[in-house]
Structure 1
Amino acid sequence: MALNTGADANFDLRNYHLYNAFSFSNSRLDIDFLPVGIHSYINPLIDLPFYIVYQTYGVFAAHILLIFYFSVFIFITFLFNMRVFDAIKQQYAPYYLFSFNFLPVCATLISISGAAAIGQAITTMNEIQTATLVTSSLLFILPTNDPHRQRLLALMLGGYLLGFAVGLKLTAMIYAIGAVFTLFPWRGTLAGIWRWMAFCLGLGIGAVSSGGYWSWTIYKKFGNPIYPFYDGVFKSPLGDGVNGGDLRFIPTTMLDYLIYPLHWAFQSGTQASELAVRDPRLLLLLISSIVLISVHFFIRPIARTLLFLIVFGIASYVVWLLRFSILRYAVVLEVISGTLIVSSIAIIAFLLGLRRSILYFLSGLLAFVLISFTDRPNWGRVPFPDAYSLSMEPVPDGSIVLLVGRPVAFLAALIPGRDIKYVGIDEWTTQPGPRLKVISEMLSRNDHKLFALFRLGDDQIAAIGSLGLTLESRECSPVHIAIDPGGLVFCPIR
């Protein structure tokens, strides 16, 4: 699919994914200053494989790696659904003794084809990798129908995988909180406490394994291990002292919180995404959960595995809704939605005494309808093989280049030269305060040539003037690159 549609050109790749891996690989932490604004110091570990393969074998090979990521995600999702439906089969045998091979396939098709999952397939947005780790974690922490069979080692390993995902990308914290809540020993039994502690221990070890080194490095430099986020807690000398966050999509009223998935369930909308999407999966996740809980309490108990999954899904959904409400971060919720949707159909079919052929038909039909009905965002692609080939005026060695606005920083990873420093200029880095003071001191030295990279028409160009600098507009030259044909220019400044 990606090989036919072209190379990834999404906004975040051009904003920070490519730059952060380049910076880490070339030890630029103490050379550049806030080149990507608030995203300058996100853990680069998850971006390194793509960057290394791209540098070594080229852009085509790097996208083969992205295809591999998505293939593993599909495989793990299928194993996850097999695990859940095996638990259901044990409870409802012999009625469904031979009927569940088809149902995990339907559930998996629904799980992997959501707007968040398939929209980010074969991209560098990295949610697929973390979703794979989280789903793998669920394979170990899902309870069996026998409550005495859940081993501490499995819980610790599940916690490790989930913690590793959190260390790679903090948005996976949604599911860490959901799992900690779901596994919490609410009955206060000693066995439950030990299981919860084993999981939490694995969670912490996993997070330190993937994010500990980078967080410690950033802490030593800025006094905040996840700078500049949650600075209300860490109080970095170069921070704002507030927690902040991306609040663009957070609901604003109680009614909006209650009906949030309705906004894009049946018509395309941008309430939860930068690009328009149409996808009823999260709505169906909530409806299926209500149906299964009703069956459990009023008709017949359902499998412990399903109960766990419902609580985990709802808890994670609430955290996602309160903290982000961004559909891109809901890949695991889409995975769970496919499982619960088909599970609810299977259990209702059993309770109604429907023939297995009808169950197969309904499950397959729903999978087909959901796949066909979903509108997925196109985050941007350009043709191979010259997608990342750069054509621009050479940058003199020893220069300081201002990266004005976003996304621009990806160019730093592609520009040849020695001893070049990159400084990010945007509405955040140039706010009056300690960050602006550092930038002003860097630019006040007379031993560097100054240049600016920016996009024509960008309102943030005025920030250059606020620094007491003047563009040499007559000497500006265009920057040509396929993944960003949006009028980038390179100008000397004085």
Structure 2
Amino acid sequence: MSIVRKHPVMLLVIAGSAAAGAVYAYMAGEDINWDWQNYHDYAGFALVHGRFDVDVAPGGFQSFLNPLIYLLPYMVRHGLGAPWWGIALGALHGLNLAVVYWVTRVLLGRAADIWTLAAALLIAALSPMALSEVGTSFADILTTLPILAAIALMFSAEDDTPSMRHLLAAGVLIGAATGLKLTNASFLIAAGVSLLLVVRPWRAVLAFGLASAIGVVVTAGPWALKMARDFGSPLYPFYNTIFRSPEAPQISIVDTRFMPAGLLDALAYPFYWVVGRHPSSEWPFRDPRFAVAIMLLAALVVTGLWQKREVLQLRDRRLITFFWVGYVLWMLAFSIQRYLMPLELLAAPLIVLLLLRLIEAWREAPPASSRAAQAVVV
């Protein structure tokens, strides 16, 4: 609530974001995605009616995923008639824009004005994967909310030293998101790596790690205990080459359809997305933002080398570390586009930030004579 008290306009942003999500969900129409029909609806139903000890995997191996994240869509969809359930979920999903606004204010600091904030919100609002999940039962767009909120807390200190209170809250949030959907572990690890750049890194990493463990245990612990009791593996039937449950084959269940064919193919993914190639998704989309972020970062590196000075602040480097470590881990583990949604939305404030840093670097560039003198001294 402190962010709301400090910035009353945040109330308008929250209301506007929820309204935008609700309207978009209504315009998109009723959600009938395959995963909803296969196991999302069943997960909520089984959790409410205690069917997990009666039914035999009606949704295939997805029947054994943590059902907690699907309880809310189930209750809303079956508690409200159409189109109100879609509007309600859309309003909740729309709050991602409000969190992007918060993250942008935190990252830009004094440079955050109506134009930079509007630019970040517009770029975020055009996120193809996020738009595809507004008003649906998918968990990706729900767990993006606590992940982005955790980023805002981790970068909220202007002196680049996150407060212990913020670190603990961020850890619980991103840990909870990981417990609800294990594919978010990429961002949990990336957040921990980014903390290695703060003043007291090990203290920060330890606090964040303990808090994130609490978040994981709260949201995933009961289900993991049930899987371990019933099948001999807390992550049954996944990673069974490690846990070796006798109830499942000794194989790892991995979807490799979207993985890059090699290093060059992996490096090309962000540029594939610009021209509409979609090796990371079953459905076509275009998204230039990752390629734009790469080009801006490259321009900043060249600028820093040319001007022989640091053009990025420590907090900028922490954010870039989180973003690209999370991206690499995502690619190595899944390469499934919708699992990248937190970075898809975070790309908006990142692009605005990098562009501002590039403009500042050239506006404040030392004169050519000064650079020549530095070169002589060196």
Same fold (TM over 0.5): yes
Tell me the distance in 2 between the aligned counterparts of 1:289 and 1:178: 18
Pairing 1:252–2:261 present: yes
Report if aligned partners of 1:47, 1:124 keep a CA contact under 8 Å in 2. yes
Greater strand percent: which structure? 1
Partner of 1:83: 106
Q: Give the Cα separation in 2 of the matches to 1:348 and 1:316.
A: 23
Change in CA separation of 1:286 and 1:240 when aligned onto 2, cut-off 3 Å: farther
**Farther-moved stretch of structure 1 (292-301 vs 175-184):** 292-301
Q: Give the match's secondary structure for 2:64.
A: coil
Using the alignment, how far apart are the partners of 2:333 and 2:219 within structure 1?
23
Aligned to 1:285: 293
User: In the alignment, which residue of structure 1 is the partner of 2:78?
Assistant: 55
Runs of 4+ aligned structure 1 residues displaced above 4 Å come to: 293-297
Deviation at 1:19, TM superposition (A): 1.0
Q: 1:163 maps to what in 2? A: 175
Aligned length: 339
| 1:265 aligns to 2:274 (yes or no) | yes
Q: Which has the higher contact order (CA 8 A, sep 6+)?
A: 1
For residue 231 of structure 2, the aligned residue among 214, 222, 227 is 222
CA distance in 2, matches of 1:194, 1:164: 21
Match of 2:21 in 1: none
Cα deviation, residue 342, structure 1: 1.5
Map 1:188-207 → 2, pairs under 5 A = 191-207=200-216
**Counterpart of 1:7 in 2: which secondary structure?**
coil
Distance 1:176 1:292 in 2: 27
| TM-score, length-scaled by structure 1 | 0.65
1:272, 1:326 within 8 Å by CA — same for their partners in 2? yes
Identity %: 29
Specify the alignment match of 1:331 in structure 2. 341
- Aligned match of 1:104: 117
User: Is the CA contact (8 Å cut-off) linking 2:96 and 2:144 kept in structure 1?
Assistant: yes
- The equivalences for 1:141-160 within 5 A come to 141-142=154-155, 144-147=157-160, 149-160=161-172
- The residue type equivalent to 1:239 in the other structure is A
Instruction: Specify the code of the residue in structure 1 equivalent to 2:90.
Output: I
- Aligned counterpart for 1:44 among listed residues 53, 64, 67: 67
Tell me the amino acid that sits aligned with residue 70 of structure 2.
D
Distance 1:32-1:184 versus aligned 2 partners, 3 A rule: same
Partner of residue 32, structure 1: 55
Return the match for 1:178 from 190, 195, 204: 190
Pairing 1:387-426 to 2, within 5 Å after superposition? none
Cα shift at 1:234: 0.8
**Unaligned stretches of 5+ residues in structure 2:** 1-23, 365-378
The answer to whether the Cα contact below 8 Å between 1:265 and 1:280 also exists between their aligned partners in 2 is: yes
Cα deviations by residue, 1:317-375 (Å, 9 ceiling, x for unpaired): 10011111111111111122212211222222223339xxxxxxxxxxxxxxxxxxxxx
Q: Which moved more, 1:8-17 or 1:337-346?
A: 337-346
Deviations 1:12-51 (A, max 9, x none): 1111111111111111111111111110111111111121
Q: Tell me how far apart the structure 2 counterparts of residues 288 and 330 of structure 1 sit (CA, whole Å).
A: 20
- State the superposition RMSD in angstroms: 2.0
Q: Distance in 1 between matches of 2:244 and 2:93?
A: 38
Contact 2:303 2:361 in 1 (8 A): no
Amino acid at match of 2:169: L
* Partner Cα distance (2:333, 2:157) in 1: 31
* Contact kept? 1:281, 1:337, Cα under 8 Å: yes
Mapped contact 1:153–1:198 kept (Cα < 8 A): no
How many angstroms does 1:284 deviate by? Answer: 2.0
Structure 1 residues 152 and 27: CA distance shift in structure 2, 3 A: same
Alignment match, 1:362: none
- Following superposition, the deviation at residue 314 of structure 1 comes to 0.6
Distance 1:24 1:51 in 2: 10
**CA shift in 2, pair 1:295/1:333, >3 Å:** farther
CA separation in 1, counterparts of 2:325 and 2:278? 24
On the 8 A contact 1:159/1:199 being kept in 2, the answer is yes
- Counterparts of 2:234 and 2:302, CA distance in 1: 44
When Rg is computed on C-alpha atoms for both structures, the one with the higher figure is 1
Pick from 302, 307, 324: which aligns with 2:317? 307
**Structure 1 residues 183, 295: closer, same or farther in 2, change over 3 A?**
farther
